[in-house]
Amino acid sequence: MDRVSSFDEPLKKLLGGATAKVMAEHLDLHTVGDLLHHYPRRYEERGKLTALADLPLDEHVTVVAQVADARILMFNNGRGKRLEVTLTDGSGRLQLVFFGHGVHKPHKELLPGRQAMFAGKVSVFNRKMQLAHPTYQLLDASDADEATEAVDAFAGRLLPIYPACKQLDSWRIAKAVDAVLPSAQDAVDPLPASLREGRGFTPLPEALLKVHRPQTKADVEDAKARLKWDEAFVLQVALARRRYADTQLPAVARRPAADGLLDAFDAKLPFTLTEGQEKVSKEIFDDLATEHPMHRLLQGEVGSGKTMVALRAMLTVVDAGGQAAMLAPTEVLAQQHHRSITEMMGELAEGGMLGGSDRGTKVVLLTGSMGMAARRQALLDLVTGEAGIVIGTHALIEDKVQFHDLGLVVVDEQHRFGVEQRDALRSKGKQPPHLLVMTATPIPRTVAMTVFGDLETSVLDQLPAGRSPIASHVVPAKDKPHFLARAWERVREEVENGHQAYVVCPRIGDDAEEADGKKGKAKKKAADEDPEKRPPLAVLEVADELRKGALAGLTVEVLHGRMHPDEKDDVMRRFAAGDVDVLVATTVIEVGVNVPNATAMVIMDADRFGVSQLHQLRGRVGRGSAPGLCLLVSEAHEASPARARLSAVAATLDGFELSRIDLEQRREGDVLGQAQSGVRSSLRMLTVIDDEEVIAAAREEAVAIVAADPELEHLPELRTVLAALLDKDREEYLDKG
């Protein structure tokens, strides 16, 4: 068997069809290599018990604990039998229940004092944590053959606890790992020998052995250090090769013309750019002036002036004879960008039109819902080069859209665009256009390095002058109802002082649902018994209550996604004009809405929103000279993670700090999202937020290696491992944000 193929061996050959099927379907493990890279989540020391007090609800867990007592209870007039077993570990107690015919075996085996591993899903019954019908394996010595076998199977002092699923317990996975462990000897080592020796790393086969069957805690640390490095390094080599390949592509250098459109625009700006905007603009201008395509990620706080920086880049390209396209994720946002850009440019946006500037250009909008005539004119303006700037949605990517000379693509809110769209737009240039990607959700540096590793990063972290501070407070509506009453008083005070307010709810509200009386009553009963079960608060209901109660006498309007576009525009226009006091809305106001006179925001059921979403929403107030106020209303329990999240949002206005907190709480899975399946399948040991030094060091080594040997001709092992990581599906994650 050659060195690679034992790792590629299908699991069903070694483990049998049934086990292999469960592993494939529920754990995404298909080959020997997959299973060897399915590392233990943690390790238990024999004789040292787990903290039962810290068990997560609704999760499948494996615990090692001791039986405190066991008793059989009868119910249903003696017709039903239930075995209740109490486990203990010094930190807490946990109840096990077995019903019906399933009570006989555990009743004989789970005697007080016995120690075992138990696996099951944690639930709560009568306010007590419990596992119903858990599977278990005895660990202490006794006459039972199974117990002896279990002790033999875990001869090491550390018991590996594997990420498991309902169909396959941790110890069954451990047995399967034992069957494939000899193949660890065939592991292809991706690290060049000089790098491995220089950093004193354990050889890969030994690291795999140590991570699965450690004798000591030092073994575990050794193995982890090595395996983390492999993951970081292989990923960074893949990204470094992408960046290198991009530098080999030709692009047209675009330099600003002296006394051209950019100078005319700068001259009419009513304010000076911030230091950050100047610095980032210079980075972009330097990139645009080179003859290979720019790939830059521009991230900045809500309101930090990213659009201004992007517009100046677009004007530079128009100055140099090219065209610029800006892609927005929604029609509403595309329209808002178009409106604000034409307002900022004034007569410079009316090139070739009566009263337009002779240095100007045409700025056109292209969206799916435009009328045929307007659309035809926009397409004509693009193909003739009459329009220097186009702003639009996915409609820009359609085959019909042809450019005269596309020089720059600006993508707003990158995480909503996939690789296919980015490539489709790139292919519209005679040569690859320059690319600027913007995001208003600040990303910690390491995540940016891992997810957007093929982009250079620029950060705008200061707000322009004139933006006001925003005070944020958590309002515990359940514990202190008078706090909520005070919140509505504060809204009233803001309106009396000539300002306006937003109220945000997680749900629109559905009349059909309310009309179904039975459903409504059942929901109310469930909500009374357990407030966690009540549906999230809805715009239509909250607006109604406020009009009749706390905000009676004020003009209260609603805004949500189910309204007709004209209706939405009308409400937004009246709100912007100051004719509406309070706007009760869903998260449709999260991005791009700019009403400087709105100073207060009340977010209902705030615990139902994510950290970055709350931060985005809050950025809608304090946009003028008056200070902003954001009240986060929640019924979550004071000690809950949800409340901790809200307190973190209230404590800082720094989006980068918040995104770190968000990531620590959610881990990478959510942050990297579905599009990042490749990262998920390759990052098993590395955690992006905790291993900053590893990622940074691996990046340096990767860049040096790719610069010296772009095709990796002298590193066949690294090439083999990369090929396995970057099969077609996984290659895409490198290009998706």
pLDDT per residue over 632-641, tens digit each? 999 888 778 8
pLDDT band of residue 42 (cuts 50, 70, 90) is confident
Collect contacts of 453-456 with beta carbons under 8 A, ≥24 apart: 453/235, 453/236, 453/239, 453/240, 453/242, 453/243, 453/699, 453/734, 454/239, 454/242, 454/243, 454/246, 454/295, 454/734, 454/735, 455/295, 455/296, 455/297, 456/283, 456/287, 456/294, 456/295, 456/296, 456/297
Residue with the bigger pLDDT between 385 and 688: it is 385
Pick from 212-226, 322-336, 589-603, 677-691: least confident: 677-691
Whether 208 has a pLDDT exceeding 80, the answer reads: yes
Q: Residue 288 above 90 pLDDT? A: yes
- Start-to-end CA distance of the chain, whole Å, equals 40
**156 three-class SS:** coil
> What integer is the mean pLDDT of 202-227?
93
Q: Is the pLDDT of residue 516 over 50?
A: no
pLDDT greater than 60 at residue 541: yes
Give residue-wise pLDDT tens across range 571-615.
888 998 999 999 999 887 766 567 889 999 999 999 988 887 888
DSSP reduced 3-state for 469 = coil
Task: Please state the rounded mean pLDDT for residues 65-80.
Answer: 85
In terms of Cα–Cα distance, which of 156, 277, 268, 263 is closest to 218?
156
Whether 529 has a pLDDT exceeding 50, the answer reads no
Task: Measure the CA–CA gap between 176 and 190, rounded to whole angstroms.
Answer: 25
Residues with Cβ within 8 Å of residue 371, at least 6 apart in sequence: none
Residue 365 forms beta bridges with which residues? Answer: 391
User: Percentage of residues in the chain with pLDDT exceeding 70?
Assistant: 83
DSSP letter (8 states) at residue 168: B
User: What are the angstrom distances between the C-alpha of 229 and each of 66, 265, 441, 626?
Assistant: 38, 49, 28, 50
The pLDDT confidence band at residue 315, using thresholds 50, 70 and 90, is: very high
Distances (CA, A) of 416 to 45, 365, 576, 620: 45, 20, 27, 21
Question: Given a cut of 80, is residue 214 above it in pLDDT?
Answer: yes
Q: How confident is the model at residue 287 (pLDDT cuts 50, 70, 90)?
A: very high
* Interval 524-546 mean pLDDT: 71
The per-residue pLDDT for 598 is 92
Nearest residue to 96 (alpha-carbon basis) of 55, 140, 144, 148: 55
Whole-prediction pTM:
0.69
Question: pLDDT category, 735, cuts 50, 70, 90?
Answer: very low
pLDDT band for position 560 (50/70/90)?
A: confident
Q: Token digits for 485? A: 């009453």
Examine the pLDDT at 47 and tell me if it is beyond 90. Answer: no
Task: Tell me the mean pLDDT in the region 346-351.
Answer: 82
Q: How confident is the model at residue 557, as a pLDDT?
A: 93
Identify whether the C-beta of residue 137 lies closer than 8 Å to the C-beta of residue 148: no
pLDDT of residue 90: 74
Task: Specify burial of residue 151 (Cβ count, 10 A radius: 0-12, 13-18, 19+).
Answer: middle
